[in-house]
Amino acid sequence: MDQLLYGSEVLINGLMTGVMYSLVALGFVLIYKASGVFNYAQGVMALFAALTLVGIMEGQVPFAHLINAMFGTHVESFGWNVPALLAILLTAGVMVLLAILIEKLVLQHLVGQEPIILFMATIGLAYFLEGLGDVMWGADVKTLDVGLPQGISESIEQATNDWFGYGFFIDRLDIWATIIAAILVAALVAFSQYTKQGRAMRAVADDHQAALSVGISLQFIWIMVWSIAGFVALVAGIMWGTKSGVQFSLSLIALKALPVLMLGGFTSIPGAIVGGLIIGVGEKLFEFIMSSPDLAGSWFGFTISATENWFAYVLALMFLVFRPQGLFGERIIERV
């Protein structure tokens, strides 16, 4: 019975983590659908957005380190603090600017190249942004606090303690992340279904040439999609940054989002969400079962730990063998 309660606590936490994975995966899906580019830099974009947000909020001078090294000065900070909401808006502006630059400097020159070349270009972009983020704002670990509630939710612990005699530990940040992710997804779906730009975006996703021929500007759509992806990255960056500090490891969440994508299919927004939930729950439960001496210990005679790094990939791999296009992906039809 105790194990069951622990297990269900793990399950709920897994669901919440899964929502965070979905948030990152969503950025991938948007770009992949609209431009056929598999954007490896999505994770680094989240890191960059979070770094920029912290930098703006604390009034850091961008490139301070570089300026000091070149001119021997000692500039560090403007000495003001920007309120969180304004800083978020400014960061969103920076992400739009970034999207425009990426479109102008990179994508425009690579139209019609093979997907693998575009993929490699986004890895180059990831390296560049990682370096840029560090040079602009410094490489030290930063704390991000935009006023989201943190810590264990006492009311849930109290309530579950009264019901089951065992208090569930659930982070309030996770609850907020779930709510915000749900709003974001609803907004994105509404945007792509009911607005003119959203329809244009879906048209581009379906067929570049047909979209061009009815007068949709590819350039504009791409900038828009990358801006939205930048905004999703900003939201993901805020969530993960508040949770575990703004540091390099933040960019590695992209690697966590990849199996989510494989499971859900690269082209499906619901797939990204369902895949995220499956992977979040799956890896937490697997880790819980395999590292618990009472469960795996008594069943198999051994326990293993830190399985979270690979479990998602192996799960997705086994899944793909039976369904190569993922859960919700478009059917792959091959013609000779």
Binding site for another protein (CB under 8 A): 38, 65-66, 69-70, 105-106, 109-110, 113-117, 119-121, 123-132, 134-135, 139, 255, 258-259, 261-262, 266, 304-307, 309-310, 313-314, 316-317, 320-321, 324-326, 332, 334, 336
Q: Tokens representing 155?
A: 């009311």
Note whether 44 and 52 are within 8 A (CB). Answer: no
134, 132, 157, 177: which is closest to 18 by C-alpha? 177
176 or 313: whose CB is closer to another protein? 313
* Pair of tokens at residue 239: 């969530």
Q: Of 29 and 92, which CB lies nearer to another protein in the complex structure?
A: 29
Q: How far apart are the first and last CA of the chain?
A: 57
Integer Cα distance of 165 and 269 in angstroms: 39
CB of 48 or CB of 168, closer to another protein = 48
Q: Which two tokens stand for residue 89?
A: 């808006």
In this complex, which beta carbon is closest to another protein, that of residue 50 or of residue 261? Answer: 261
CB 16 within 8 A of CB 276: no
The smaller minimum CB distance to another protein, of residues 130 and 174, is found at 130
C-beta of 169 vs 310, nearer to another protein: 310
- Dist. CA 231–CA 52, nearest whole Å: 13
* Cα(218)–Cα(210) distance, integer angstroms: 11
Q: Which of 58, 91, 94, 90 is nearest to 77 (CA)?
A: 58
CB of 163 to another protein, least distance (A): 38
Q: CB of residue 127 vs another protein: minimum separation in angstroms?
A: 3
In the bound state with another protein, the residue whose beta carbon lies nearer, of 132 and 148, is 132
- Least distance in Å: CB of 221 to another protein? 21
231's tokens: 């905004």
- The owner of tokens 């795996």 is 296
Q: Which two tokens stand for residue 1?
A: 């019975």
Give the shortest CB-28-to-another protein separation in angstroms. 11
Whether the Cβ atoms of residue 97 and residue 229 lie closer than 8 Å to each other? no
CB-nearer residue toward another protein: 167 or 326: 326
Minimum Å gap between C-beta 310 and another protein is: 4
As measured in angstroms, the least distance from the Cβ of 262 to another protein is 5
CB-facing half-sphere around the CA of 15: CA atoms within 13 A: 11
Minimum distance of another protein from residue 6's CB (angstroms): 23
Query: What is the closest distance, in whole angstroms, from the C-beta atom of residue 328 to another protein in the complex?
Result: 14
Amino acid, res. 56? I
Closest CB 150 distance from another protein, rounded Å:
29
Closest CB to another protein among 37 and 216? Answer: 37
Give CA–CA dist 321/123, Å, rounded.
Answer: 26
List helix spans (H) across 58-171.
64-71, 84-105, 115-137, 154-164
Give, for 277, the enclosing helix (H) or strand (E).
helix 269-291
